[in-house]
């Protein structure tokens, strides 16, 4: 059994802490603020229900002290939005030890690259071994101040590491925790398998009026994915697949990955229609919409999903007009500059690296400095 530092106490962090604890692992749950942890202390643990089982999970530690959470941990697991990776790098840099395994659950698009670059920028000089999966291991929502419900545990998840030479060791460590992980060739492959970036920007941006008028009082995936919205998601997916082909990274259609992750039926996926796949998504059926555009479905899935894809596309010479349009629309709707503030090539450590040098870079990493 492993000692795991779970960093982040939102939906995913609570689900991971409860699930791993109830499966016999030693879990330390960290939050940057005490507010998410206080109800758990008062309740005596996290109540888990749903697809991963049920019970009261009493973790070894609930803490806002990051040093206490990560010291000696077999695995440091970040269950945080992609937008939080840079702040977490600043927090982690003084406490992470050389070679200590880090796992991004999820990594989204370019997460391992971004965290690696941010830790170096914060002055960390030790060996870095960072693994990621393409999307969160659970479909989950909190159902009370100290309770979480898991509606689906992904049965198959793309897994990769940066630098790539660490992938085998990290997979050996993570697989007992999450047997669904399947090794990929590189973090390009996991980054291109980010389902959230395919679906969420069209879903929320094309439903802006409904989101704001009802303050999220509708079923986001089921009612919000109409035939027209589904066609835009399919168009984003075609651009993603073209980018993957140009980069030499294996990729499957969104509907097939959605099926493989346990979110829709084989029959619905076989139609090739995202609209139909969403209509048959039992795991997502009852999830309500965000109440506004001030949400990770925009800030994360545009700025740290679509933006890095379009940055990779520029490196590869692949046109992405639908993705670019959604980035522009998101900026106009929110007043934010996602091109400036999102996950750029420079923030992933890829500035100046052409497509010919990417493979070597992904395997070996940047030129490493002496281990502190």
Contacts of 357 (CB under 8 A, 6+ apart): none
d(CA 234, CA 202): 10
Tell me the chain's radius of gyration from C-alpha atoms: 19
Residue 284: cis peptide before it, omega within 30 degrees of 0: no
Q: What share of the chain is helix, strand, coil (3-state, %, to 5)?
A: 45, 15, 40
Q: CA 109 → CA 15, 83, 195, 226, distances in Å?
A: 22, 11, 10, 26
> 285, 221 in Cβ contact below 8 A?
yes
d(CA 190, CA 240): 12
Q: Is 237 a catalytic residue?
A: no
d(CA 157, CA 39): 31
Strands 147-153 and 61-63: unpaired
Q: Say which of 116, 200, 280, 304 is annotated catalytic.
A: 200
Q: Say which of 19, 234, 260, 301 is annotated catalytic.
A: 301
Q: Count other C-beta atoms under 10 Å from residue 228's C-beta.
A: 11
Q: Is 38 a catalytic residue?
A: no
d(CA 367, CA 372): 15
Q: Which residues are tagged catalytic?
A: 200, 301
């Amino acid at each position: 059994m492993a000692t795991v530092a779970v960093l982040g106490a939102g939906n995913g962090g609570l689900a991971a802490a409860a699930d791993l604890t109830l499966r016999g692992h030693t879990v330390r749950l960290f939050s940057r603020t005490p507010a998410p942890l206080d109800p758990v202390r008062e309740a005596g643990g996290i109540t888990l229900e749903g697809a991963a089982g049920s019970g009261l999970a009493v973790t070894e530690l609930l803490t806002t002290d990051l040093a206490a959470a990560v010291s000696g941990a077999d695995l440091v697991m970040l269950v945080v939005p992609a937008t939080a990776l840079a702040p977490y790098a600043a927090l982690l840099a003084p406490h992470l030890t050389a070679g200590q395994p880090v796992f991004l659950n999820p990594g989204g698009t370019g997460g391992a690259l971004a965290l690696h670059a941010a830790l170096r920028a914060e002055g960390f000089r030790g060996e870095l071994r960072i693994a990621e999966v393409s999307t969160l291991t659970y479909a989950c929502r909190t159902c009370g101040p100290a309770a979480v419900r898991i509606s689906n545990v992904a049965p198959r998840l793309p897994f990769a590491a940066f630098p790539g030479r660490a992938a085998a060791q990290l997979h050996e460590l993570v697989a007992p925790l999450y047997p669904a992980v399947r090794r990929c060739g590189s973090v390009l492959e996991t980054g291109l398998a980010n389902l959230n970036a395919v679906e969420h920007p069209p879903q929320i941006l094309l439903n802006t009026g409904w989101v704001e008028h009802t303050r999220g009082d509708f079923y986001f995936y089921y009612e919000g994915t109409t035939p027209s919205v589904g066609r835009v998601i399919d168009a984003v997916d075609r651009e993603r697949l073209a980018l993957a082909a140009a980069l030499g990274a294996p990729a499957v259609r969104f509907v097939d990955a959605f099926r493989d992750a346990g979110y829709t039926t084989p029959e619905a996926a076989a139609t090739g229609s995202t609209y139909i796949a969403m209509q048959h998504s039992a795991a997502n059926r009852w999830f309500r919409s965000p109440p506004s555009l001030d949400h990770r479905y925009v800030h994360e899935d545009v700025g740290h999903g679509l933006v890095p894809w379009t940055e990779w596309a520029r490196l590869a010479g692949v046109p992405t007009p639908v993705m670019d349009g959604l980035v522009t629309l998101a900026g106009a709707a929110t007043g934010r500059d996602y091109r400036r503030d999102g996950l750029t090539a420079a923030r992933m450590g890829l500035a100046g690296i052409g497509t010919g040098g990417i493979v070597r870079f992904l395997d070996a990493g940047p030129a490493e400095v002496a281990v502190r």
